[in-house]
Structure formats: C-alpha cells, structure tokens
Structure 1
Amino acid sequence: MILGWVFVPVYTAAGVYTMPEYLRLRFGGQRIRVYLSVLAILLYIFTKVSADLYAGALFLTRAMQWEGELGLYVAIIVLLLIAAVFTIFGGLTAVIWTDAVQTVLMIAGSLVLCIMSFIAVGGYDELITQYFEKMPSPNVTAYDSANQSCSAPRADAMHMFRAAEAGKSDLPWTGMTFGLTISAIWYWCSDQVIVQRTLASKNMVHAKGGVVLAAALKFLPLFLLIFPGMAARVLYTDTVACSDPAACKRFCNSESGCSNLAYIELVLNLLPKGVAGLMLAVMLAALMSSLTSIFNSASTLFTIDIYTRVRRNASEMEQVIAGRVFVVFMVAVSIVWIPIINSSSSSQLFVYIQSITSYLAPPICAIYLLAVFWPRTNEQGAFWGIMIGLVVGMIRFCVEFSYTVPPCGSDEEDLRPDWIKAVIFDVHFLHFGCILFLIVLISVIVISLLTEPIPEECLHRLTFWSRHSTEPRKPLPSTLLEMEKNPIREEPAAAGGAEPPSRARRLFNQLCGVEERTGEAAVNPRDRLTEEQRAEEDAASLYEDPKQRVIVNVSAIVSMVVAIGMYVYYR
C-alpha cells in the first residue's frame, strides 16, 4: 500500500524509469545513483540470483535423483539455460506476460498440494498437535548440551509476537514489527525488480490495483506454503527435521539441516506422479519468472546507471550487448557464492535472505524515505549517510560469514571470539537492521542540516508534498555543471532516411531484443515538449477516475484490516 499510494505517485510525477534515476533527479550528481545501482546489483547476487538458483537446484536434484555436488551444479546449468531463453528472446513485456500465466499455475498447483497436505495429516487441529509431538528417529537427531533434541519444534512456533530478549527467540517481535518493515519498504518501494512493473502500468488506478492484487496474493503463502511445510515435518519427519550433521549431509548435502526440502518432499511423495510433474513445471516456472525479472532489472540498472557513465555515447545496440555480458558475469559470481549458502549457519533459505537484506538494505530504505518526505535532504547528507551505512553493514556481513557457527549438537569447536559473540551474533539480524536504519537516518539528517539545502524550484514533483506541482523543474546546479563538463555529442541525422538493416542485422536484433528505430520513430515525443508542457503532463499523469479511485481505496483498506486481523489471531 505504501508503494501504490506514496512512492509510485512520486516516481510517476518525476517521470523516471529506474530508482537510481529518481535519486539522480532528486539529489544531482552521479555518485549516489552509481552507488545504489552497485548496491542493488550486490543484493541481486547475494539474495536473489544465488538463492533462486540454489532453491531450483535443490528441487531438480531431488526430482531427478542427481546425487552430490555435481548434480547440484548440473541442475544450476539447466536452470540457467532455460532462463537465458526467456531473457534473450523476451524483455519486460515477456516477463510480465509469463508472470501472469505462471501465477495462475502456481496458485492452482499449490492449492491442490495444500488440500492434500491437510487431508494427509488429518486436518488443521491435528496438524498443530502432531507438529509439536512428532519427533525424528534417534539416529538422525542431534542433542544439545542439556541433552535436548535439536529437532524439537519451538514452544512459540504458532505465535508471531515472540520474546524480544537476545537468545530467547529466533524471530523477536520487535524485529518482526520494525526490522521487517524496514526491509519491506526497501523491497516493495525502491527495488527495481518490483517497482519497474508498477511503473509500466497505464495509469495510477492500474498501479494501485496491481499493488492491491499483490497484497491479496501475499495472504496465500500462509496457507499454500507455511502450513504445508509444517505438514511436511509431520509426514517426513526424519528428512525435514533431521539435526544430526552426518545424517543431514546424507539427506540434502548440508550439515546445517534439511528444512529447505520440506516443500519438495510434499510434491514428490504426496502428489500422484502426473500431478507431481505438473508441480515440478510450476516450481520451475516460478523460478524462471524470478530469474528473468532479476536479469532484466540488473541489465537495465547496469546499462543505464553504470555503463553509460563510461560510454556516454553508447548506441542502443552496444548497451544491450553490455547488459547481456554483465548478466553472465553476475550469474558466475552467484554460482561461486552458492556453496556459502549451502554451509550457512541457518538451515532455512528464507532466513538467510532476510539476514543479508538486513545488513545491506536499511540504508537504501532510509535514503528513499527521506528523499520522498523531507525536502531538506541534500546530496551530501544522502551520500555520506549511505556510505556510513555501507561500512557498518559490510562489517556485520563479513563477520557473519567469516565465522562458522557449529550446528546444534555438533562436536565442532566454536572458534568465535567472545566479543564477536556479544557484539555481533547476540544482536539479532532484524534488530541490527533497525540499528543500521537509525544510524543512517540520523547521519543524513545531521549532515544535511550542516550543508546547503537544495533550491525549492529544483524539487517540483520530486517529493510527496510537491507531486501535484505544475511548475517547471529547474535542473540542480550540480547537474548543470556536469552537463557543461561532459556534453553529450549528438549524432548527425542521416540525409534522405536511413538504410533498412540487413537480414543478418535483423536476426541479431531479434536475438538481443533490440528494436532499431530510425527517422521520426527514433525521436522521443517528450523531447518535443517545452519544460512547461512536460510539467503539466507529469502532473496530469496522477489523475484517477473518481469511481475507480473509490474501488481501489476501499480494497486497500479491506486488505489492511484483514492483515491486522491475522496478526491479532496469531499473536
């Protein structure tokens, strides 16, 4: 809801296509834009591409019975080849259409599996009872120092608001309430993968309708994923709930645990063979959808926000090729990182993703919130604030993965220094995200107040308070200075029209997803407008049909009321 009602109106009124592009207009200069593009790509590598490839490879190796690490990497190669076909022959339009079709398949298949899971365990009440009572065989269970099974479920498993004290909860209520909110604002409101789809909508009502639909779909994972996952622990306890490092290594090639196999076990063992094959296709479709979205977004960020800084006059063809080459490089780094994920201290892939996000995303969240809501924020404050956040976050990131936490019940010696345990590991990653957010927020505010403010005439339609302004927006002084130093050379127009491309060139364009435009078609219609006309057009883009606006507003309120009700019920 924050995306549709707060951020998208600002982005639309600003007339931007990428998130760093918005910050470029908001603050001027290039260093923030380039920095955030690089950071976004790092997040793609560590939390999206590598995690998606790892999850898909687990599914394929289990389904195809490919053993060991060799089978894992064969599965990764297969996934990449399929994703490459989607990405090369598609683009954002292809991604959106495939997402729409695959969403229907995913929901239908997951719904069937959910129903069969509840039937297999005897219903909801029986599921909750057996989840706490069912324990794996002694030969796959490790024991801690108090001789308690490491496979035992937590006593607070059915509660969302858990103890906030360090060491007493895996998900403290303070971190769940505030830490996840910070990560969610970054993900939903400033992440290129998500926002680019919203900015592709025809008008504001369509954008808001899209986010309301996304909100409705977000209720489904509790029933389609979480409860079936609990059922998997009941039905396949030895595999899903194993805690003995040697046994887990044998089951899933990871000593930290095999809970990542929960959904896979349901699909392969509970469903009939034909339906299981359909679900395999659905799961792969979901992964392909995610990967292609990430590849397109990363390619856009790299070419528009980084590559064109090096090659200011690069042609569209050159930009496309550079984007494709960069995606290959990004995938290579992600594959190298996969063994780190496999050996991470948490056996839960989702927890790994959230922890990495809590180390890197809070500075971005702070910058976007201040950029949208506090006009006094300037470039110096924003840049040095995110640099401070990067240093602090990377320290936690590096320490986290430099020391291996022995699995529960393991005989391995804990080599972590006491001060590392106290300062780093005893601070939950969700709490660390809150601390990092406050550090960046205070740093940006203090530095901005100590330096020159941005002129008001340079902020029209760039903040929430000025989104409806029809005044022409003046370029920032730093932007004008940069344009003087690095003017963009205009290519002379071809006399008498351009020659049509050869057959080989047309084939190459089709493979790379390039549409070459010449003559009048190559001119952006906005380039013919005056500054006053552009301002009026941008402000008019926020118009909403009154009747449709009421519908989406009421739908948003209903979604939020239902969400609050579920929080209260599972408190």
Structure 2
Amino acid sequence: MFAMIFSAAIHTPAASVYTNYAAAARNERHIAPAFVAAGIIAAGMPVLAGLIAILTTARYGIDTGLSGYRNLTTLASEISPVVGGVALAAVLAAVISSGGPILLSSATMFVRDWLPFTRRYDSARRLRAYQVTTVVYAIVAALAAWVVATRTTISILDLLLFGFAMVVPPAIAVGYVIYWPRTTERGAYWGMAVGYGAGLVWFALIKLALAFGFSAPEDASALHRLLVYCLTVDGEGIDPSYVTTFVPLVAIPLVSRLTIDTSGDREQFYAMLDGTLPVDREPA
C-alpha cells in the first residue's frame, strides 16, 4: 500500500503535461506534435514511480506507517538524492501548475470586477492593467511565501498543497453548472464560498491542534476521539482537500434547490452549450 501511494504521488503530475504542452502551442497545427511530445515525457513518470516504489518497499517494508508528501519525498531522498529530487520536483510541479492559471484568472477578475473604470479602456490599456495586476499579485505572493518561510513554522509545501485543495470548489461549481441545469447563481456562489471557508477553518484547526498537542484522554467521548484523529492523524491531519470537495458537493445543490435564478441568461447559456445556438450569434 505504501508503495502504491508513492507511485500515485509521483505519477499524478504526468496528467497535467498534456494540457500544459497543448496550451503552449502557437496554433492548432502544433497541438498534435505537442501531445506527442507530452506523451513521451509523461511516459517516464510510471517508470520513475515504479522504481521509487520498489526501492522504498525493499528498504523500509510495507508496515512503516508513514504517509504524506513530505515523508514520501524524504524517504525517496534517503534512497537516492537524484531520484528524491526528481520526485520532489514532480510533486511541486503538480501543485504549481495550477498557480499560473489561478494567477491570471485572479488578475482578470480583479480588473473586471473591482476596477470598473477599466471598462472604458481600449484593448491595449486593459491588457496593460492585466499585466500590472498580475505582477502585483506575484510580488505579494512571493513576499507572503518569504514571511511564512522565515517567520513561521508552517511548511511552504503544506501551503502549496493547501492552495491546490482550494482549487476544488470552483471546479465543482463549474461541473454543476455544465451538467446540472438546475444549478443557480447563488448555489454556485455560496457553494464556493462555504467550500473556501470550510477549507480555511479546517486548515487552521489542524495547525492549532498540532501546535498545542491536541489529544484525547482515556475517558474521552467517541466524538472527542474522532475529532482528535481527524486533526492529528499521521502528524498532518486529514487533508483539507476532502473538506473543500465534499462541502461544495452538498452546498451547491442544496442552495440551488432553495433559490431561483432570475438572471434570464440560463436558456441562452445552455443553448450555446449544447450547440443549438452558435456562440457568435445573439439570440433573436
């Protein structure tokens, strides 16, 4: 089981290689060669994962009781610094690969939603606003990472994995909007908001529980023991990604059932989605 978990941790980044290479193509003619090149690169991931799993199992056995990205990469580094470095790079690449789209989309939303005066800009000035906002976002993120690394005991890797977990609520909301027409704007909004809030609270509770040595006495109730287990299992607690996944899954349909979408764009959106209304044509 330990070897399988490690193999999955290293093999997962291969899935993002295809989309990253295809998105970087200059035009449609380059997409097919990009997919082929990405496939060749991704083909090495299962080999690396299998090698690490075999070596790890041979040295430490299958009953080590260790889990988590930090322990896995540490064990890989002890086996071979080269293989361990590649493993750590693969894990970080899987997380950081989401940073670029998040940064660009956040800058776009900030300019469009919070800087209304930019609506009067032409395309060149608006592009400049996007670029400046992106640079500011990047500088703030770099300063935050520096403060966390030098002034706190929180691992940067923990924050990166937490950031990856925070991508889940909007992805679930998009899935609901596309595949469940009953989804309302309020349902998607509050599903994402509650998912973000629950993830932040859970992450903070884990850090507080580990920092203050939260534990259950012998006569503790079953609920108390369950809470201790969820916040301290394997010295890391249950990953916030579970919270940011299940909370929106429940909140979005629940709120959608209780609200009505009055925007008037629902029919047009789903008509364009199923192809009955061309995207470049306005409804009559």
For Structure 1 versus Structure 2, the TM-score category normalised by the shorter chain is 0.5 to 0.7
The offset of 1:445, in angstroms, is: 1.0
- Could you report, residue by residue, the CA deviation over 1:326-350 in whole angstroms, capped at 9, with x for unpaired residues? 333333333332463687677x94x
Distance 1:396 1:297, change over 3 A: closer
Structure of greater relative contact order (alpha carbons < 8 Å, 6+ residues apart): 1
Q: Quick one: percent identity of the two aligned structures?
A: 15
Q: Secondary structure at the match of 1:392?
A: helix
Query: Match of 2:214?
Result: 417
Q: Matches of residues 78-97 of structure 1 in structure 2 within 5 Å? A: none
Report the Cα distance in structure 1 between the residues aligned to 2:278 and 2:72, rounded to whole angstroms.
58
Q: Conserved in 1, the CA contact under 8 Å of 2:14 and 2:45?
A: no
Distance 1:445 1:295, change over 3 A: closer
Which residue type is aligned with residue 428 of structure 1? I
Calculate the TM-score normalised by the size of structure 1.
0.33
Residue 327 of structure 1 is aligned with which of 126, 134, 142?
A: 134
Where does structure 2 lack aligned partners over 5 or more consecutive residues? 59-70, 216-223
- Could you report, residue by residue, the CA deviation over 1:463-486 in whole angstroms, capped at 9, with x for unpaired residues? xxx1x32x257xxxxxxxxxxxxx
Query: Match of 2:44?
Result: 220
Residue 245 of structure 2 is aligned with which of 437, 453, 456?
A: 437
Report the Cα distance in structure 1 between the residues aligned to 2:177 and 2:14, rounded to whole angstroms.
17
Report the Cα distance in structure 2 between the residues aligned to 1:386 and 1:440, rounded to whole angstroms.
6
Query: Match of 2:65?
Result: none
Query: Match of 2:74?
Result: 259
Give structure 1 regions of 4+ aligned residues with deviation exceeding 4 angstroms.
193-196, 198-201, 206-216, 228-232, 293-297, 341-346
Where does structure 1 lack aligned partners over 5 or more consecutive residues? 1-155, 161-170, 235-255, 268-278, 406-413, 474-525, 533-571
Q: Secondary structure at the match of 2:190?
A: helix
Q: Conserved in 1, the CA contact under 8 Å of 2:4 and 2:53?
A: no
Query: Match of 2:219?
Result: none
The offset of 1:307, in angstroms, is: 0.9
Report the Cα distance in structure 2 between the residues aligned to 1:364 and 1:208, rounded to whole angstroms.
29
- Could you report, residue by residue, the CA deviation over 1:416-468 in whole angstroms, capped at 9, with x for unpaired residues? 33366344334521xx5344323212211122122225643442233xxx1x3
Query: Match of 2:23?
Result: 197
Which residue type is aligned with residue 47 of structure 2? F
Query: Match of 1:461?
Result: 272
Distance 1:157 1:295, change over 3 A: closer
Query: Match of 1:298?
Result: 103
Query: Match of 2:62?
Result: none
The offset of 1:207, in angstroms, is: 6.0
- Could you report, residue by residue, the CA deviation over 1:38-64 in whole angstroms, capped at 9, with x for unpaired residues? xxxxxxxxxxxxxxxxxxxxxxxxxxx
Q: Secondary structure at the match of 1:460?
A: helix
Kindly indicate whether residue 259 of structure 2 is the aligned counterpart of residue 451 of structure 1: yes
- Could you report, residue by residue, the CA deviation over 1:382-403 in whole angstroms, capped at 9, with x for unpaired residues? 1111111111011123334456
Distance 1:458 1:423, change over 3 A: same
Which residue type is aligned with residue 161 of structure 2? Q
Q: Conserved in 1, the CA contact under 8 Å of 2:17 and 2:38?
A: no
Distance 1:198 1:320, change over 3 A: closer
Distance 1:223 1:299, change over 3 A: same
Q: Conserved in 1, the CA contact under 8 Å of 2:186 and 2:256?
A: yes
Distance 1:320 1:218, change over 3 A: same
Q: Conserved in 2, the CA contact under 8 Å of 1:362 and 1:437?
A: yes
Residue 282 of structure 2 is aligned with which of 526, 531, 534?
A: 531
Q: Secondary structure at the match of 2:271?
A: coil
Q: What is the number of residues matched between the two proteins?
A: 241
Query: Match of 1:362?
Result: 168
Q: Conserved in 1, the CA contact under 8 Å of 2:196 and 2:244?
A: no
Query: Match of 2:183?
Result: 377
Report the Cα distance in structure 2 between the residues aligned to 1:260 and 1:315, rounded to whole angstroms.
54
Report the Cα distance in structure 1 between the residues aligned to 2:191 and 2:208, rounded to whole angstroms.
26
Q: Conserved in 2, the CA contact under 8 Å of 1:188 and 1:194?
A: yes
Q: Secondary structure at the match of 1:452?
A: coil
The offset of 1:314, in angstroms, is: 2.5
The offset of 1:202, in angstroms, is: 2.5
Distance 1:417 1:266, change over 3 A: closer
- Could you report, residue by residue, the CA deviation over 1:232-282 in whole angstroms, capped at 9, with x for unpaired residues? 9x9xxxxxxxxxxxxxxxxxxxxx998399399439xxxxxxxxxxx9xxx
Aligned-pair Cα RMSD in Å: 5.2
The offset of 1:375, in angstroms, is: 1.4
Q: Conserved in 2, the CA contact under 8 Å of 1:363 and 1:437?
A: yes
Q: Conserved in 1, the CA contact under 8 Å of 2:111 and 2:133?
A: no
The offset of 1:381, in angstroms, is: 0.9
Q: Conserved in 2, the CA contact under 8 Å of 1:300 and 1:323?
A: no
Q: Conserved in 1, the CA contact under 8 Å of 2:3 and 2:54?
A: no
Report the Cα distance in structure 1 between the residues aligned to 2:213 and 2:244, rounded to whole angstroms.
23
- Could you report, residue by residue, the CA deviation over 1:50-89 in whole angstroms, capped at 9, with x for unpaired residues? xxxxxxxxxxxxxxxxxxxxxxxxxxxxxxxxxxxxxxxx
